[in-house]
Structure 1
């Protein structure tokens, strides 16, 4: 007990100076305020103004990057008027609690608007509260793979701190404004009445500034929009599960699947971010068109012919797996929930149809896969080679684990070039055109590829990702170079290793992000079939696709989920539906 008493005595002794220091500091602050009343009033007023700007900005904040314009913040928010009336009506303690909760809600609403902006820029759609939290982890992995672990960790910590800071600062700002209103209750009440009258008048008359209504309910509209997405998502789950069970070719016997392609080695290749902008954008198109024309001529000289059209992708800017699964399953898979439902169903994918027929071996070349990939079974792939199984010893090119030329050469060495009893169906994912398009690989002599170490110097001399990402014009230029590289690598592989029985189908998975496309609603991607056997192309004469590697502007445009059924039908498959 004496020891305990001595400890308490010492702790009390330690606290006394702290209290004295705190008292002295407060005294000095009071003296400073008394000595400089004008400065004190200016600081106080500045604090009030900043609090008002923060709250009004949060209430009027758009959820798209193009909407971040000054004229979007010149409206009268109904939520501010309602909030002011409630703050004026409440006694002190409930007022402070309500103000803090109201401000915290505004902070969370601002976070949601920022997420909407980010998702719209990268994926062409807003943030889904039910489905998209997992994509934040994918985004972190992308930053880590593209720019390094330190940048990724710093970005993650910064994002969390920003979100917390927004919630706290908004709560403090709203409490401060509530106190100001309470101190000037009479004038504040009159102001709220006038503002409410003006809002109702503007709403009734439909008054606008720069095409936008003066009377705003932007915050409430954001909440309604998020709630609508949640409800639609929950309703969609059951409906889509039933749709996935209904398959026009689900019960087709093996001998009636793809009979007109028997004996052919078929390659289905996806080129990352190969979108319509590659052949439409005035800055990008000349280089890509030259590549398509020259490579088309080279293939024609080697005896190949091609036909090209357009598919409208189910995704935009990213989430490539949604484009892959949509085109191969015949289902419109535009979100992660649908993807999970589809990949856990018995839906027959195009690649699985080749395996089910019993006439092909099937293989997947997946340089972008860096962890367990259970979807291989759903895709019907007997063998899958991921990034760790191709023998690559060279550098990464930003997100891409290896250049497309190396991945194709590894495909030749590991599978395509081997003697086999049955032909081969291959799904190949080419990743060199993945954002941020820096550094971009260069083609080298195929004989010099080795284990990929030859790319060390090319990667070192390439452009820095952060430099390209910061400039939209440079992003467009480097994106065009990456598409030209991927198309060149694939067509040179075909020219070098293809045979009379090789058929290549290559297509884009989605358009690139808005930094390249602008904020277009177009989701079209090119799709091309190349073969030597004229019967292969005659089978799709009815599609009216454009001869060559570049689809004409007026070539047919199909939704991507139509491709599976059209392809199966064109090459002799007979529908035998299953019904959910």
Structure 2
């Protein structure tokens, strides 16, 4: 039991039972600690502490594996607790409150039971060793010698995991280094928040290059580089983008595209939104909470200061969004409850993208209005990517009830997610739908004053992106006014909705400053 416990972090990390065929140094070290303690009560406490430590290293490995497979990063014990809370929220939404809390309680009970069993195992082995000191000393020496030999030669059963195992020690050291690095980076982040020259730019200079334009920042959920390059499903997306290029050109529009590196992966979309808006690298819920409780100058602030009316539309929300008012200062906030939608839900996506475009056109863009800046989430491409809507004639959209038959035409998530290949294909189809909706909107409601900033928030989860995928997402700027794109000619973005592998790649936190610089009246600040 003790050997399995100290090797379990490697088992969890690799997913291979062969990880148990290793020599754990920590087992011998734990027994040595107990052997030098003379009093039984002290040994019992020490055994309990050691057992708890071993269980915590197993849980740490499990959290790392879960976070890596979903959001592409290790769990951070300093900043990761809000994300863990959000993950539980997703579990609760998926399984129901009863099942979610049942799973949580089962996990707590299993951890307590494992701690007790490992502690008793340590005490039992210590008792055997005290009764048979010579044999115990010989056995311990053999284990240490074997560990040293295989450690020196670097032997491995599982690639990347030496037979000479130090999983628990490695986890403790790694977590200590992670905590120190986090403390340093958070201090640097706090210092950078105060340095923001754009907040002092006169309103007459801000965004003068976009005067009279309606600007929509369109976040396409899970629209990652994997959707457009080197995947089994990218040819379908590429075909839609190329057709979109042709349609845009025929209608007199031009576009420029590149890639941005997102601070998040697989989910937690609001980290990407806030990074783009603030020009700061917001890669944890802790940073998000810190920034949004302050007064950082955002893109929406810049547009509002320069005279635009600002709007957010988050179709996945059903309640007011406090940060939208207190931090982003959006003049209007839309969600699933105040846009008149009476149609069906498509799994996570409460409202299909085409309806979102239709509502914006009908209530905001088609009427005489002050120039509008809107940040809009398009959520039809959100996991689990089934069932999916399909396009309907724009005049037929109405209150959305025209979509009523469509969910039944798709498969349920629990059916699709039994086959990773099927999941990937449906992800590709969801991006095809979202981008087709966009192109159809631009073509149907031709608007010479419309400027679109279209980008992904993050790559889809590892199930779709694959192990080790980057965090890059496509971004495009679309306009009918050549002057709008002339302003960004120095960026060297590519004239297509489909950026090639050689397209520029920026960090997402670079975008705000470059964008404000490009469209500033004087353009004297360097990007």
Q: Does 1:286 align with 2:239?
A: no
Q: Is the 8 A contact 1:146 1:399 kept in 2?
A: no
Aligned to 2:408: 460
Aligned to 1:297: 246
- Superposed displacement of residue 215, structure 1: 2.3
Aligned to 1:392: 341
Aligned to 2:7: 57
Distance 2:22 2:4 in 1: 15
What SS class does the counterpart of residue 119 from structure 1 fall into?
helix
User: CA distance change for structure 1 residues 576 and 150 in 2, over 3 Å: closer, same or farther?
Assistant: farther
Q: Is the 8 A contact 2:5 2:55 kept in 1?
A: no
User: CA distance change for structure 1 residues 59 and 159 in 2, over 3 Å: closer, same or farther?
Assistant: closer
Q: Deviations over 1:329-350 (max 9, x none)?
A: 1111111222122222322212
Distance 1:530 1:403 in 2: 22
Q: Is the 8 A contact 2:31 2:122 kept in 1?
A: no
Which of 126, 131, 143 is the aligned partner of 2:79? 131
Q: Does 1:539 align with 2:498?
A: no
What SS class does the counterpart of residue 299 from structure 1 fall into?
helix
- Superposed displacement of residue 260, structure 1: 0.9
> How many residues were matched structurally?
522
What SS class does the counterpart of residue 364 from structure 1 fall into?
strand
Distance 1:171 1:406 in 2: 59
User: CA distance change for structure 1 residues 436 and 80 in 2, over 3 Å: closer, same or farther?
Assistant: same
Larger Rg: 1
Q: Is the 8 A contact 1:60 1:75 kept in 2?
A: no
What SS class does the counterpart of residue 310 from structure 2 fall into?
strand
Q: Is the 8 A contact 1:364 1:427 kept in 2?
A: yes
Q: Is the 8 A contact 2:82 2:286 kept in 1?
A: no
Q: Deviations over 1:367-406 (max 9, x none)?
A: 1223342221322311111221112222322222211111
Aligned to 1:84: 31
- Once the two structures are superposed, the pairs formed by residues 434-513 of structure 1 within 5 Å of their partners are 434-513=382-461
Distance 1:255 1:165 in 2: 66
Aligned to 1:48: none
Aligned to 2:169: 220
When normalised by structure 2's length, the TM-score is: 0.92
Q: Does 1:170 align with 2:125?
A: no
RMSD: 2.3
- Once the two structures are superposed, the pairs formed by residues 269-418 of structure 1 within 5 Å of their partners are 269-358=218-307, 360-377=308-325, 378-418=327-367
Q: Deviations over 1:272-315 (max 9, x none)?
A: 11000001243111111111112222222222111111111111
Q: Is the 8 A contact 2:352 2:380 kept in 1?
A: yes
User: CA distance change for structure 1 residues 574 and 54 in 2, over 3 Å: closer, same or farther?
Assistant: farther
Which of 174, 181, 195 is the aligned partner of 1:246? 195
Q: Is the 8 A contact 1:88 1:189 kept in 2?
A: no
Q: Deviations over 1:99-119 (max 9, x none)?
A: 333222212221121111101
Aligned to 1:551: 499
When normalised by structure 1's length, the TM-score is: 0.84
User: CA distance change for structure 1 residues 301 and 59 in 2, over 3 Å: closer, same or farther?
Assistant: closer
Distance 1:197 1:140 in 2: 44
User: CA distance change for structure 1 residues 169 and 498 in 2, over 3 Å: closer, same or farther?
Assistant: farther
- Superposed displacement of residue 59, structure 1: 5.7
- Superposed displacement of residue 575, structure 1: 7.5
Aligned to 2:56: 108
Q: Is the 8 A contact 1:147 1:398 kept in 2?
A: no
Distance 2:173 2:114 in 1: 21
Distance 1:369 1:551 in 2: 31
Q: Greater helix percent: which structure? A: 1
Q: Which runs of 4+ in 1 moved over 6 A?
A: none
User: CA distance change for structure 1 residues 184 and 392 in 2, over 3 Å: closer, same or farther?
Assistant: farther
What SS class does the counterpart of residue 474 from structure 2 fall into?
strand
Distance 1:350 1:68 in 2: 44
Which of 1, 5, 21 is the aligned partner of 1:74? 21
User: CA distance change for structure 1 residues 171 and 265 in 2, over 3 Å: closer, same or farther?
Assistant: same
Q: Does 1:516 align with 2:469?
A: no
Q: Deviations over 1:64-116 (max 9, x none)?
A: xxx22244333322211111223344455443443333222212221121111
What SS class does the counterpart of residue 439 from structure 1 fall into?
coil
- Superposed displacement of residue 503, structure 1: 0.7
- Superposed displacement of residue 542, structure 1: 1.7
Distance 2:113 2:411 in 1: 35
Distance 1:161 1:575 in 2: 61
Q: Is the 8 A contact 2:347 2:387 kept in 1?
A: yes
- Superposed displacement of residue 475, structure 1: 1.4
Which of 221, 232, 236 is the aligned partner of 2:185? 236
Distance 1:521 1:286 in 2: 18
Q: Is the 8 A contact 1:61 1:110 kept in 2?
A: no
What SS class does the counterpart of residue 228 from structure 2 fall into?
helix
Aligned to 1:3: none
What SS class does the counterpart of residue 199 from structure 2 fall into?
coil
Q: Is the 8 A contact 1:108 1:167 kept in 2?
A: no
**Structure 2 runs not aligned, ≥5 long:** none
Q: Deviations over 1:411-467 (max 9, x none)?
A: 2233223322x2111111111111111222222222222222333321123211122
Aligned to 1:37: none
User: CA distance change for structure 1 residues 177 and 474 in 2, over 3 Å: closer, same or farther?
Assistant: farther
Q: Is the 8 A contact 1:59 1:79 kept in 2?
A: no
Distance 1:214 1:157 in 2: 34
What SS class does the counterpart of residue 84 from structure 2 fall into?
helix
